[in-house]
Amino acid sequence: MARTTGTDRTTGTGPTAPGAPGTPDGLPKGFRGAELGWPELRRIPHPSHRLPLAGDVLGADVRRPLQDAVRLGRMLGPVYRRKVFRREFVFVWGSRYVADLADESRFAKHVGLGVANLRPVAGDGLFTAYNHEPNWQLAHDVLAPGFSREAMSGYHPLMLDVAERLLDRWDAEEVAGRTVDVPADMTKLTLETIARTGFGHDFGSFERSRPHPFVTAMVGTLTHAQRRNAVPGPLAPLLLRAAARRNADDIALLERTVDAVVAARRDAGGTGATGDLLDRMLDTVHPGTGERLAPDNVRRQVITFLVAGHETTSGALSFALYYLARHPEIAARARAEVDAVWGDTPRPDYAQVARLRYVRRVLDESLRLWPTAPAFAREAREDTVLAGEHPMRRGAWALVLTPMLHRDPEVWGPDAERFDPERFEAAAVRARPAHTFKPFGTGARACIGRQFALHEAMLVLGLLLRRYEFRADPAYRLRVAERLTLMPEGLRVELERRPTTSTPMTTPMTISTASPPDETEASAPRRPVRGTGE
Ligand code: HEM
């Protein structure tokens, strides 16, 4: 069982009550600026042309703050700082420094500004909880078994059902000669997948021509949390008044939606039948303490899992499809692997998914270039010196820029921008230093849903590769939209149905398709999925 040690009393990033708006200047309670935490801050480079009051805002792109930070990272090097009005931030991307920040004995997750801005909606839910909040450990221990191999193999048939609805939809688009809207359809797929596997709920996304209101409200909330970082605290009430009202409406809709999901489970004759995430949230007693999650915490966990459980996977699938459409030779090789491993099985089983080694490399390489949760923050548990160079006081923190870490030429070479799944060939992975690939974060607070996301994404990519050839619009240039997460904007792909979906392998392959030895569990019975509702 992973435990975080309490950084609460030590760091000053202390408790904000769930939903609390923060300090009067608009900063999350306990926010500690870099000026206080980094005694030798002046040694860290910042952009030239710093303005007296506004700081380093010249040329800033408020709609794409991550890509802005990446641009500055290229100019300023592996550790740099930036001042936005009164707040100074330290950004880190050099692999040596990130490896040091990954040392759990000296550093822990910091609930940074973007994440802290989500506390009004997610409170002390698993993702947004401060390390010291008791509900983090309780929820972690109660929910971690929901991501065991056994639980995952139980989700597999439901994942397949959802993926088949996507195939039906794409078949119809292909017959009609229409291109498909990749991010929109991947969002439908991943929302339905987490809703059904985790909560026995059907949002009816594939029957809708527009996104489900839950998705619209979620995008609104994420975008609002991101925007709040760019607005000076004292001006936020004025500049974001209308936006704050809309955000309150969005949060209310998210809460109504999850309350309905929970009520439906209770109405359906109680809980405990399937051991899905909702059952675990409602029923499971902590083995050590005998505690359960309180009802208001269940609500925050359901929102957390519905959002965290689909938004990033949807982006990861979309970027992977972008690269597959752009690189027909890589798609052909991946397709040959699917044909070889799955043969003519209409519904691949759980174990057959993990055997798609090359498809996994395609996914990893997409997550390298575009890790869809593109930053995470780390704080010092004690006074320390980052990589022997930069003193940090207890509670000082830095934002790790994952897309830049994943492009560090010292690790990934001079061609780090090039899409090349071979970087994830086993020997190449072994040859790289630790902590250089971090799309799922690090340490005790790393992503709990990693295996879920990987299984779902590989299953869907396998099914799509087996069914279609993808053609990218040659005029399309990748634009990346940001709402704390990343998504390829406006990506449409043309499909061509393959003559057969079970062609035996004809392309010579050099990759191993040997199956891992222990992936043969049968699917556990699941609770039937109940009807829609918003
Ligand atoms: C490709 C897909 C995904 C990516 C890239 C991703 C990325 C991440 C990252 C980077 C973190 C750490 C954030 C931090 O340190 O502040 C995280 C945490 C988390 N993720 Fe994911 N995630 C993905 C899919 C999922 C899925 C499918 C679920 C749920 C089913 C999920 C649930 C969570 C939760 C609950 C946390 C908080 C864990 C904790 O603090 O204990 N994620 N994720």
**Region of poorest pLDDT, from 373-382, 412-421, 520-529:** 520-529
Question: How far apart are the C-alpha atoms of 354 and 153, rounded to whole Å?
Answer: 11
Nearest CA owner, ligand 1 atom 23: 312
Nearest CA owner, ligand 1 atom 37: 127
Q: Yes or no: say if 438 and 408 are a contact pair by the CB < 8 Å rule.
A: no
User: Among candidates 454, 503, 512, which has minimal Cα distance to 336?
Assistant: 503
Percent of the chain with pLDDT over 90: 72
**Is the pLDDT confidence value at 102 over 70?**
yes
Q: Quote the ligand 1 centre to 304 CA distance (angstroms).
A: 10
Same fold, 30-133+373-431 and 144-360+447-497: no
CA 110 to ligand 1: nearest atom: 16
**Is the pLDDT confidence value at 347 over 70?**
yes
Mean pLDDT (the chain, rounded): 86
452-455, Cβ contacts within 8 angstroms, sequence gap of 24 or more = 452/147, 452/152, 452/155, 452/194, 452/197, 452/309, 453/312, 453/313, 453/316, 454/360, 454/363, 455/152, 455/155, 455/156, 455/159, 455/350, 455/353, 455/354
Q: Which residues contact 276 (CB under 8 A, 6 or more apart)?
A: 146, 197, 198, 199, 200, 526, 527
Q: Quote the ligand 1 centre to 176 CA distance (angstroms).
A: 37
Question: How far apart are the C-alpha atoms of 164 and 169, rounded to whole Å?
Answer: 9
Q: What is the pLDDT of residue 273?
A: 64
**Both structure tokens of 328:** 């027909």
**Is the pLDDT confidence value at 523 over 80?**
no
Question: How far apart are the C-alpha atoms of 298 and 484, rounded to whole Å?
Answer: 23
Q: Quote the ligand 1 centre to 502 CA distance (angstroms).
A: 34
**Is the pLDDT confidence value at 13 over 80?**
no
Probe target for ligand 1 pocket from 131, 401, 447, 484, with the most ligand atoms within 8 Å of CB:
447
- The class of domain 30-133+373-431 in CATH terms is alpha beta
Whether 447 is a known active-site residue: answer yes
Exactly one of 193, 447, 452, 470 is catalytic; name it.
447
CA 371 to ligand 1: nearest atom: 5
Question: How far apart are the C-alpha atoms of 394 and 108, rounded to whole Å?
Answer: 11
**Model pLDDT for residues 415-471, shown as the tens digit of each residue:** 999 999 999 999 999 999 999 999 999 999 999 999 999 999 999 999 999 999 999
SS3 content of the chain, % helix, strand, coil (to 5): 50, 10, 40
User: Among candidates 105, 83, 107, 113, which has minimal Cα distance to 16?
Assistant: 113
The residue behind tokens 């939809």 is: 169
CATH of segment(s) 144-360+447-497: 1.10.630.10
CA 456 to ligand 1: nearest atom: 27
505 or 524: which leads in pLDDT: 505
- The stretch 71-85 carries a mean pLDDT of 94
For residue 270, name the pLDDT band (cuts at 50, 70, 90).
low
**Is the pLDDT confidence value at 22 over 90?**
no
Nearest CA owner, ligand 1 atom 29: 309
Q: Count of CB atoms within 10 A of residue 256's CB?
A: 14
Percent of the chain with pLDDT over 70: 86
**Region of poorest pLDDT, from 109-118, 215-224, 519-528:** 519-528
**Model pLDDT for residues 175-213, shown as the tens digit of each residue:** 999 999 999 999 999 999 999 999 999 999 999 988 899
Phi, psi of 376 (to 5 degrees): -145, 155
Exactly one of 16, 197, 312, 384 is catalytic; name it.
312
Nearest CA owner, ligand 1 atom 42: 449
Nearest CA owner, ligand 1 atom 9: 440
Q: Quote the ligand 1 centre to 449 CA distance (angstroms).
A: 6
Phi, psi of 79 (to 5 degrees): -135, 120
Q: Quote the ligand 1 centre to 178 CA distance (angstroms).
A: 34
Nearest CA owner, ligand 1 atom 39: 445
User: What residue ranges do the domains of the chain occupy?
Assistant: 30-133+373-431, 144-360+447-497
DSSP class of residue 147? G
Cα first-last separation, the chain: 36
Whether 440 is a known active-site residue: answer yes
Nearest CA owner, ligand 1 atom 27: 309
**Both structure tokens of 221:** 């909330």
User: Among candidates 219, 222, 221, 306, which has minimal Cα distance to 262?
Assistant: 306
Exactly one of 89, 107, 376, 440 is catalytic; name it.
440
Question: How far apart are the C-alpha atoms of 75 and 83, rounded to whole Å?
Answer: 16
Q: Quote the ligand 1 centre to 451 CA distance (angstroms).
A: 10
CA 136 to ligand 1: nearest atom: 41
**Residues within a 6 A CB radius of ligand 1:** 109, 115, 126-127, 140, 194, 304-305, 308-309, 312-313, 316, 371-373, 376, 439-441, 445-449, 452-453
Full-model pTM:
0.89
Q: E-strand spans in 131-230?
A: 180-181
Nearest CA owner, ligand 1 atom 11: 447
Q: Quote the ligand 1 centre to 446 CA distance (angstroms).
A: 7
**Is the pLDDT confidence value at 89 over 50?**
yes
Whether 312 is a known active-site residue: answer yes
User: Among candidates 528, 525, 448, 455, which has minimal Cα distance to 201?
Assistant: 528
**Is the pLDDT confidence value at 372 over 70?**
yes
Q: Are strands 107-109 and 375-380 parallel, antiparallel or unpaired?
A: antiparallel
Q: Quote the ligand 1 centre to 58 CA distance (angstroms).
A: 33
249 or 509: which leads in pLDDT: 249
Q: What is the pLDDT of residue 531?
A: 34
**Model pLDDT for residues 25-42, shown as the tens digit of each residue:** 444 454 567 888 999 999
**Concatenated DSSP letters of 471-489:** EE-TT----EEEESEEEET
Q: Count of CB atoms within 10 A of residue 14's CB?
A: 15
For residue 275, name the pLDDT band (cuts at 50, 70, 90).
confident
DSSP class of residue 506? -
**Model pLDDT for residues 235-262, shown as the tens digit of each residue:** 777 788 899 999 999 999 999 999 999 9
H or E stretch covering 464: helix 450-467
